[in-house]
A and B are shown apart, each in its own frame.
Chain A
Amino acid sequence: MNTVKVGFKKIDKLLNPETVAVVGASNRKEKVGSIIFEGLRRSRARLYPVNPHEDAISGHKSYAQISDLPVTVDVAIITVRAEKAAEIAEQCARCGIENIIIVAGGFAEAGDQGRALEERLRAIPDQWGSRILGPNSLGVFVPENNFDTIFVEHGDRALADGGGIAFISQSGSVGVEALGLASNTGFPMRAFVGLGNKIDLNELDFLEFFGAEDKTDCIALYIENVEQGRRFLESAREVSLGKPVVALKAGRTPSGVSAVSSHTGKLAGSDRVVSGAFRQYGIQRAFDDEELCDAAKTLSYLPPARGNRVAVVTGAGGFGVMCADYIESDNPRARLRMAELSDRTVARIREKAPAFASCHNPVDLTAGVTNEMYVHTMEVMLEDRSVDILICITFFAPHAVTDKLIDRMADLITGSDKPVLIFTEYGPFTDTYLKEFYKKGMIGFPSLTRTVRAVRFLVERGRIVSALREGP
């Protein structure tokens, strides 16, 4: 138990350091070390550039080597190329630095010489107790304290408000591209961690860390191979009791079944085993980066669904019909049903609806809809016990429906214990609306399929929670 806590303390320091050394920081703007150093100047950490060829970098005294530093820094970021990185990592470890981030690639993925360098790195944690993130890692990004080692564009300004999602990615590129895109409409980020080649710290360390801390309310993972398979699953089940765990597992490893003459062997391909194992241990599986981000955001913002009955309200009949089709289609994640509204609900909706409205699910308030009608109908539907989830399809087309509806909806949705999702489209302004929703605590998507897909994640999550509570 003690070792776990010590481990957590180190990871906490890695994400929230007071002192940081940047090896390879430079005055030459095009250098990775320079970009990282400049980015870190926005954080509250004290910075120590290490570069034998410079006297000072952006007003900070530069040190020739790690052993010259006046303090033992909390984190050393090594931005120099692989051939030098291994040696510098050893120097860091010898100086007692607890966390080392290695940005460079060119290790095991680059042939024999790289593999030999990686072996040297592997020896460090056991010998000196330092933890290594990487190599080939973008490092970490923690909006809360502006600690950001990522040297490529990743929507960092848009993500600066922070949030509850811990995003752990084996691939740097998939991670930052996905986040860059997600940040266009808002993404609640607790922390980003780039695992890289994970010679030491891996998905399990961060799953356990973020699983145990209160600031995280959802864990999203992009992984290509799983280290310590069983332990990872056991931990995920533990974490999943309290918060959702969504994983995009890419890459099919060979099935390992040597006897191909068995049907089981041929059908196995380990990818199907992954799906089964994830389901068994309460991990929700995503299949592409957009789905991963959508699911994480939805699960972070909305409560799990208590059932699978979906109600739909729309001002546009066609979208209501399409939405019902998506809801009723087969899907292995979760079967959804159109809710059957009670007579009382239907009667109450009719009281305020336009004359030609259809007041059964999907409720179509027609083009005669007003802000008032939307709010009234949503209230009534959320009170109906035969409704578990509500999808609101709305287009902010004046004059009857205006931007003022957004605040009214936000009050209703953030105060509801049933999840409500919004589908909207408005040409070039779609993202602006979605971002506005996000800021006000709501989840919206610019596509019906994405909306219904997110609903399925909430239903799946509801089922996982009740199954875990019931026990095996």
Chain B
Amino acid sequence: MSATNTAAVVRRWRSSISIPGKPNEWESKRLLSSVGIAVPRGVFVEAGEAPTAAGDLSVSGTTGHCVVKVCSGEILHKTEQEGVLLDVAAGDLSAAVATLQKRFPSTGILVEEMVSYRGGEIIIGALYDPTFGPAVMVGAGGILTELYKDVTFRLAPCTVKEAHLMLEELTVYPTLKGYRGLPGNADALAEIVSKIAELALQLILEGCQLDINPIVWSRDRWVALDVKAIIAEDHSVRFS
């Protein structure tokens, strides 16, 4: 994808956000999809919309279980606020949506397929560094990411080759190369890191950082399970 295309994608995306400056997870995932990064299949139930009125809640193509979560750009710690219901069977979806709607009456609800995976959880981020400008991060993801601090950075743009070097620096690198039979794919991950760096160049102009955690290897591709796009209130970031 060329830089101008990415720029157009980001601009379109930014203007489509329902609460300006506060993209929700569903919206952030749309941004990733539009640059070719896989996200779980899902449906979005608008605030106040009756669960049944949302039509068929079972995520098309999945017969397995779903995750139901509150979806708002203003709620950043949804697990801590009891906004996530895991492993919901197809028949229980309406009830699950209704439960969350009662807890969070004014926000939308996201229903997604439960993605199964065995390999490691990876985090990818896009950020703005005050000295050097747009940058990309990759490392060991999941809820313990801030404890392990097994992450590495490069400035954007970042070639696929450079992204590979980033992965090689990580302690978790072997998990991408078949350690203990764990599935993963370093080449495909390096391409995504490079793509996020490309996105970073545009996002930063829009005052936005991105946090994908985790992204996991499932059914032969990397899938971004959770994505946060955070737009700085002080939107005066500049390239140095």
Contacts and interface: CB of A to CB of B under 8 A. Distances in A.
Interface of A: 225-226, 228-230, 233, 253-259, 261-268, 270, 272-277, 279-280, 332, 472
B107 interface: no
A408 B151 CA distance: 47
B220 to A, nearest CB: 26
A259 B169 contact: no
A258 B240 contact: no
Nearest to B126: A264
A152 to B, nearest CB: 30
Contacts of A265: 125, 127, 209, 211, 230
B240 A228 contact: yes
Given A229-B240, A264-B137, A270 B155 contact: no
B127 A263 contact: no
A263 B123 contact: yes
B184 interface: no
B125 A263 contact: yes
A254 B129 CA distance: 9
B14 to A, nearest CB: 16
Task: Place the interface of chain B in its size category.
Answer: 35 or more
B158 to A, nearest CB: 7
Contacts of A273: 127, 129, 131-132, 135, 153, 155
A270 B139 CA distance: 16
Contact of B135 (A261, A263, A277, A472): A277
Interface in B81-133: 123, 125-133
Given A276-B155, A280-B162, 7 more contacts: A229-B129, A261-B77, A268-B125, A270-B129, A272-B153, A273-B129, A273-B135
Interface string B28-57: 000000000000000000000000000000
Contacts of B149: 267
A228 B128 CA distance: 15
A210 to B, nearest CB: 22
Among B76, B151, B231, residue most surrounded by chain A Cβ atoms (within 10 Å): B151
Nearest to B208: A259
B132 A233 contact: yes
A267 B135 contact: no
Interface string B155-184: 100110110011001000000000000000
A408 B14 CA distance: 70
Given A257-B127, A332-B169, A263 B211 contact: yes
Contact of B151 (A272, A274, A279): A272
Given A230-B240, A259-B232, A267-B137, A277 B154 contact: yes
A114 B91 CA distance: 73
Contacts of A256: 128-130, 237
Contacts of B155: 230, 233, 273, 276-277, 280
B153 A262 contact: no
Given A268-B153, A270-B130, A262 B125 contact: yes
B209 A262 contact: yes
B72 interface: no
A174 B74 CA distance: 47
Interface in B175-214: 209-211, 213
Interface in B214-232: 228, 230-232
A259 B237 CA distance: 13
